[in-house]
Amino acid sequence: MGIVGGIMVPHPPLIVPEVGKGGESIIRKTTVAYEKAADFVASLKPDTIVLSSPHSIMYSDYLHISPGYEASGDLARFGAGSVKISVSYDSELSNRLCELAEDEDIPAGYMGERDKSLDHGTIVPLYFIMQKYTDFKLVRMGLSGISFADHYKMGQIVQKAADELGRRVVFVASGDLSHKLREDGPYGFDKNGPLYDEKVMDCMGRGAFGELLKFDPYLCDKASECGHRSFVIMGGAFDGLKVNPNKLSHQDVTGVGYGICTYEVIGCDDDKRYLDKYLEDEKKSLLEKKAMEDPYVSLARKTIETYIKEGYVIKVPDDLPSEMYERSAGAFVSLHIRGGLRGCIGTISATCDCVAREIIQNAISASTKDPRFESVEEKELEKLEYSVDVLGDAQKIDSKKELDVRKYGVIVTNGLRRGLLLPDLEGVDTVDDQIAIAKRKAGIGEYEKVELQRFEVVRHH
């Protein structure tokens, strides 16, 4: 009993004949592989299918599990209302998932239900599976903006709950690959699209689930993938297990990547405890970075750790480089955890008599007052990565041609509205992107005119 296998599958509505109306022939290779994957699921005779879908309810900071006892849905929005799926939920298993997630401090559960109907990321896999096998109950979960590591932990929880309850479980990881594989595709082309598909199909084809944790979030974002976190959860469900991977197909003819693999559990293997190794490597890397921090970053770290742990604002230390006392300038303090932003607050120009005080002030704000995030908690401190940007004087410019997204930050102004964006940020590749983001931050409309200023920074890591 427990996790007996899993499949990685896409969810293009086109593949369903009632939707495709002949157009599905373009992805015939995927259809054939899908039918083999459904046969594989049927051969395992699961009591329960646990399915993760990027089109179920999704929150940035919470992983939703569908509550209740049953659900249904159709493909009417894709012109095929006759395609209807109804399932019974394994409420006992989903209840236990919620309990274990709370115990493990993973933000997951039943909260936030909006639409109880099945989404197409669920319906398409079940359409194929239920032609071969129907004697199962379902647990459906969405994805989240929480870290890859926490998604992996959710998979570990699935494994633990299945073992405890004696369920024979197959995990279905529903997710497309890159949506930016062809210029003539619906989402256009990005060079990171084919790179992501090649990389993810390589590690999924080998069952190397630990490598999923190390994917650059920037690569995932630029590739516009939708299934990575699904695959990570399934990887967690196989933690410590030996699996037999079988790569069945990969197609990109529509401009969207469709990959199909099957995984049969064939035993236990402690060498496959990928999260433990990942966290060990992460801790080592953070300690090495901490040892190399310069005084600017060390001051930000000391400020935040003292404020979060002990509740007071430190005094300016007396052992800093002289320029941190003598110079006044605007500064930004940025916090990241596992590549994801955790807080960023700064000042465009000096508001304190020296850079050191500017950093102390903005470090506390970045950790407690960024409106996009809750305050940093003490348990997060050891995971934080810091950067401090000290701003040079702003210069008025006449044209965006005088900007360089890697060298200069930008300030946009319209009346009393003013927005800033730092230079050399991941995911910001063009001057137009830089200006657009700065305008959005200031609440300035896309087509409203702005005055432009540029500035240089000294970035401390």
pLDDT in tens, 341-373: 899 999 999 999 999 999 999 999 999 999 989
Q: Average the pLDDT over 235-244 and give the result.
A: 98
pLDDT in tens, 200-225: 999 999 999 999 999 998 899 999 99
Both 273 and 295 in one domain: the answer is no
Both 261 and 310 in one domain: the answer is no
Both 110 and 184 in one domain: the answer is yes
Both 192 and 231 in one domain: the answer is yes
pLDDT in tens, 303-345: 999 999 999 999 999 999 999 999 999 999 999 998 788 999 9
The reported pLDDT for the residue numbered 231 is 98
For residue 293, pLDDT over 90 is answered with: yes
Both 87 and 142 in one domain: the answer is yes
For residue 173, pLDDT over 90 is answered with: yes
For residue 115, pLDDT over 80 is answered with: no
CA distance 402 to 300: 32
Task: Please report, for the domain that includes residue 234, its CATH number.
Answer: 3.40.830.10
- Please tell me the total count of domains within the chain: 2
The mean of the pLDDT values for the chain is 95
Task: Please report, for the domain that includes residue 360, its CATH number.
Answer: 3.30.700.20
Among 277, 311, 339, the domain boundary falls at: 277
Among 277, 302, 329, the domain boundary falls at: 277
Among 228, 246, 277, the domain boundary falls at: 277
Note down the domain range covering 453. Answer: 285-460
Both 295 and 252 in one domain: the answer is no
Strand partners, 334: 344, 387
Both 151 and 208 in one domain: the answer is yes
Tell me the C-alpha to C-alpha distance, in Å, between residue 211 and each of 68, 205, 215, 404. Answer: 35, 12, 7, 34
Residue whose C-alpha is closest to residue 459's, from 385, 384, 390, 360 = 390
Banded model confidence at residue 199, pLDDT cuts 50, 70, 90: very high
Within a 10 A sphere around the Cβ of 227, how many other Cβ atoms? 29
Say which DSSP state 316 is in.
P
pTM exceeds 0.75, yes or no: yes
Both 255 and 303 in one domain: the answer is no
The reported pLDDT for the residue numbered 454 is 95
Tokens 């009632």 sit on residue:
18
Q: Average the pLDDT over 165-185 and give the result.
A: 97
Both 157 and 270 in one domain: the answer is yes
Both 195 and 306 in one domain: the answer is no
CA distance 208 to 456: 42
Both 267 and 311 in one domain: the answer is no
Both 149 and 110 in one domain: the answer is yes
pLDDT in tens, 61-85: 899 999 999 999 999 999 999 999 9
pLDDT in tens, 399-452: 999 999 999 999 999 999 999 999 998 878 899 999 999 999 889 998 999 999
Tokens 């030996």 sit on residue:
242
Residue whose C-alpha is closest to residue 200's, from 222, 174, 232, 172 = 232
